[in-house]
Amino acid sequence: MKAYTQHTGIVMPLDRANVDTDAIIPKQFLKSIKRSGFGPNLFDEWRYLDQGEPGMDNRKRPLNPDFVLNDARYQGASILLARENFGCGSSREHAPWALEDYGFHTIIASSFADIFYNNCFKNGILPIVLEEKIIENLFDLSAAEQALQLTIDLATQSIKGASILLDFEVEAHRKHNLMNGLDDIGLTLQCAEDIRQYEMRRKNAAPWLFRSV
Amino acid sequence: MAAKTLYDKLWEQHLVREDEHGAGLLYIDRHLIHEVTSPQAFEGLRIAGRKLWRTETNLATPDHNVPTVDRHLGIADPVSRLQVETLAKNCADFSITEFDMSDARQGIVHVVGPEEGATLPGMTVVCGDSHTSTHGAFGALAFGIGTSEVEHVMATQCLIQKKSRSMLVHVDGKAGEGVTAKDIVLAIIGKMGTAGGTGYVIEFAGEAIRNLSMEGRMTLCNMTIEAGARAGIVAVDEKTLDYVKGRPFAPPENLWSQAVSAWSDLHSDEGAVFDKIIHLDATQIEPQVTWGTSPEMVVGIRDRLPEAGSYSDPVKENGAINAFKYMGLDQGVKVTDILLDKVFIGSCTNSRIEDLRAAAAVIKGRKKSPSVKLALVVPGSGLVKQQAEEEGLDKIFTAAGFEWREPGCSMCLAMNADRLQAGERCASTSNRNFEGRQGPGGRTHLVSPAMAAAAAIAGHFVDIREF
């Protein structure tokens, strides 16, 4: 996994609550057995005017001019600003894969759905939770003619902009792994002996969990 | 000793260790696998040269992409076919038990697990699917995970987790006639909101919950994720034991009494402290119908849709305006005036035998409304299908003009050929009414099986209690 330390980018405001993972990446694209290439279909149903299917040449599809992703101001944006309960619904990791593939490295919202939040950290994306009032203010700032640019620093847990200085919270273990780009599986396997000892204890207490069927 | 919640007990029983940052390493007893969220995890194992930690804890079945008609012809869509074939190859390569399309036990992973006894009380159960919360009905800690975590479980039998907060949802009193687990859980989501459970594990308790069958409890826990919670759980009782006993993966006779004795502790202790408690009065819950594009946009069958001006929160008001537009509905209309194009009875929420019986009881001797283009019944598994056919339910459905199909996820998320066309309106027993969920531009109303069946006969929503 790529490490995340500091990131500067343009903010794209997506002014909707409860953005679900079906909207982030519709189901027809989940048939892929790969991890990459989902970016062109990020927010497919909102982004294009036609109906998207796998295998289409997305560059030739008609864009929805009213959708914020197609707004000239936000081209190249790498920070997504959203509202409450972002990423709700399906557990599909294709959602953070699509966001990352498009170029979003940071998502700021007033709350995230649990599984999505977790999936972000596994893919080098930093999800940041801020209070509603601050989110509202960021929406105002990012709607200006000149797109809002922010710098996010994970080490100091700070967000800086022209007239902005904010702190954010992140759990210590997630911060550590994200900053160092650590592979969770490798880390867990360092505890293999603990896992084996747990299994020995558990096998005595609950032998029916250790039968082969 | 301090009184513990059921969640505390399940957490402690599975905690392998805690790291210096307070993150827990949680042991996983059962890992269920389907074709959509696993291929990249198997690929990850191969690239890193890793093996499965404990092969026999894994159980796989294809469900999202499988066709519900003409199985003998295979899967027409080459992309879907490749995904299902990839699951078969991965399972063969890693020696994982798979119930493939030709196996009578194939079905929706959350129907198959309990049916086989692969889901047991006191287990931790995970799957790369958000509706894994279903298995909490057995007093198990069950939750959905992403593909990176699927790989993590396969390689280590563990997950890195932070303990959630605990919530008790107490549903007091008896639910009225015609009010099912689906109506109870939709009413809970309507009250809490789709983010109301975020960061929590919810335990459901109270008379109305105890009165639910195991199928009903699965419906309830299934939709806990729609309230944003990590997991939903129901304490173990006699109904749980009766359901589990004798199933293929259940403890055999020689271990049964030891298991039952261990499971007898799977309830919250008297005086256990929850971070949040919510009470609902079951006698006040009406049959529910969702009207919008989030499961929290729900009303009773006798209600009218809300007016956009009735929201105090501008973000919610904006959401409602978008939803009215997408759903092609006017504010304030009566729910019973909403006309339907299609009806779907199925999904991991409502495709078990009890659901099919409830729907069949409503339509017996009646005919689907000519204005309803398609009424689809998709059993949750091959075994549910067999049982329904033994009971003659398939004949009731087909005589009424419904289609009787092969098991799978089908039109819950439309990854196979079963889907809504843009603008079509569907009464569905599934779990999500998101934009495009049942097909791009499709409009979904979530209801119970009996309400869906009645709507198919009438051509519009009706109060099942007066039907």
How far, in Å, CA of B244 to CA of B113, rounded?
Answer: 11
Cα torsion B221, B224, B230, B233: sign: negative
Chain B residues with CB-CB distance to A45 below 8 A: 435-436, 440
Contacts of B385 (CB under 8 A, 6+ apart): B379, B394, B406, B407
pLDDT of residue B309: 87
Nearest CA in chain B to A96: B146
B375: left (phi over 0), alpha (psi -120 to 50) or beta: beta
Read off the pLDDT of residues B351-380 as tens digits, 9 standing for 90 and up.
Answer: 999 999 999 999 999 999 999 999 999 999
pLDDT of residue B165: 98
Residue in A9, A19, A7, A16 with CA at minimum distance from that of residue A116? A19
pLDDT of residue B292: 98
How far, in Å, CA of B331 to CA of B310, rounded?
Answer: 10
Q: Which of B80, B129, B151 sits opposite A31 (nearest CB)?
A: B80
Read off the pLDDT of residues A71-124 as tens digits, 9 standing for 90 and up.
Answer: 999 999 999 999 999 999 999 999 999 999 999 999 999 999 999 999 999 999
Residue range B311-322: average pLDDT? 93
Per residue, the 3-state secondary structure of chain A, as one string, reads: CCCCCEEEEEEEECCCCCCEHHHHCCHHHHHCCCCCCCHHHCCHHHHECCCCCCCCCHHHCCECCCCHHHCHHHCCCCEEECCCCECECCCCCHHHHHHHHHCCCEEEECCECHHHHHHHHCCCCEEEECCHHHHHHHHHHHCCCCCCEEEEECCCCEEEECCEEEECCCCHHHHHHHHHCCCHHHHHHCCHHHHHHHHHHHHHHCHHHHCCC
Q: State the smallest CA–CA distance between residue B229 and chain A in angstroms.
A: 8
Read off the pLDDT of residues B213-250 as tens digits, 9 standing for 90 and up.
Answer: 999 999 999 999 999 999 999 999 999 999 999 999 99
Q: Which of A18, A89, A188 sits opposite B152 (nearest CB)?
A: A188
Residue range B27-41: average pLDDT? 98
Q: Say if residue B163's pLDDT is above 70.
A: yes
A201 near B CB under 8 A: no
Q: Beta strands B24-27 and B15-18: pairing type? A: antiparallel
| Cβ pair B208, B282 in contact under 8 A | yes
Q: How confident is the model at residue B212 (pLDDT cuts 50, 70, 90)?
A: very high
Q: Say if residue B38's pLDDT is above 90.
A: yes
Q: Token pair for residue B160?
A: 């890195």
- Please, what's the b/e burial string for B142-164 (b: 16 or more CB within 10 A of its CB; e: otherwise)? bbbbbbbbbbbbbbbbbbbbbbb
Helix (H, G, I), strand (E, B) or coil at B381: strand
Chain A residues with CB-CB distance to B319 below 8 A: 16-18
Q: Would you call B71 exposed, middle or buried from its count of C-beta atoms within 10 A (0-12, 13-18, 19+)?
A: middle
Judged by CB atoms within 8 Å, which residues 437-456 of B form the interface with A?
Answer: 437, 440-441
**Contact criterion met (CB < 8 Å) for A206 and B122:** yes
Q: Say if residue B1's pLDDT is above 80.
A: no
The secondary structure of chain B in percent helix, strand, coil, rounded to multiples of 5, reads 40, 20, 45
AA letter at B7: Y
Mutate to test the interface with A, among B148, B152, B435 (most CBs of A within 10 A): B148
AA letter at B101: M
Residue range B176-194: average pLDDT? 97
Contacts of A41 (CB under 8 A, 6+ apart): A25, A26, A29, A52, A58, A98
For residue B302, the tally of other CB atoms under 10 A from its CB is 13
How far, in Å, CA of A79 to CA of B206, rounded?
Answer: 45
Q: Token pair for residue B169?
A: 């949802």
Judged by CB atoms within 8 Å, which residues 219-248 of B form the interface with A?
Answer: 228-230, 248
The complex scores an ipTM of 0.95
Average model confidence (pLDDT) across chain B: 97
Q: Token pair for residue B353?
A: 């035998």
How far, in Å, CA of A81 to CA of A75, rounded?
Answer: 14
Residue range B283-304: average pLDDT? 98
**Contact criterion met (CB < 8 Å) for A114 and B23:** no
Q: How confident is the model at residue B398 (pLDDT cuts 50, 70, 90)?
A: very high
Q: Say if residue B117's pLDDT is above 80.
A: yes
Contacts of A34 (CB under 8 A, 6+ apart): B40
AA letter at A112: F
Read off the pLDDT of residues A35-75 as tens digits, 9 standing for 90 and up.
Answer: 999 999 999 999 999 999 999 999 999 999 999 999 999 99
Where helices occur in B97-144 by DSSP H, the ranges are 109-116
| Cβ pair B452, B364 in contact under 8 A | no
Chain B residues with CB-CB distance to A122 below 8 A: 146, 148-149
User: Hunting for tokens 């009438």 — which residue is that?
Assistant: B458
Residue range A125-148: average pLDDT? 96
- Please, what's the b/e burial string for A180-204 (b: 16 or more CB within 10 A of its CB; e: otherwise)? eeebbbebbbebeeebeebbeebee
Read off the pLDDT of residues B262-271 as tens digits, 9 standing for 90 and up.
Answer: 999 999 999 9
Q: How confident is the model at residue A213 (pLDDT cuts 50, 70, 90)?
A: low
Read off the pLDDT of residues A183-199 as tens digits, 9 standing for 90 and up.
Answer: 899 999 999 999 999 99
How far, in Å, CA of B137 to CA of B160, rounded?
Answer: 23
Average model confidence (pLDDT) across chain A: 96
Q: Would you call B126 exposed, middle or buried from its count of C-beta atoms within 10 A (0-12, 13-18, 19+)?
A: buried
| Cβ pair B335, B451 in contact under 8 A | no
How far, in Å, CA of B221 to CA of B209, rounded?
Answer: 11
Q: Could you tell me which residues are beta bridge partners of residue A94?
A: none
pLDDT of residue B20: 84
Please give the order of strands across the beta sheet that includes B58-60: B97-98, B58-60, B30-33, B124-127, B141-144
Residue in B328, B356, B331 with CA at minimum distance from that of residue B344? B356
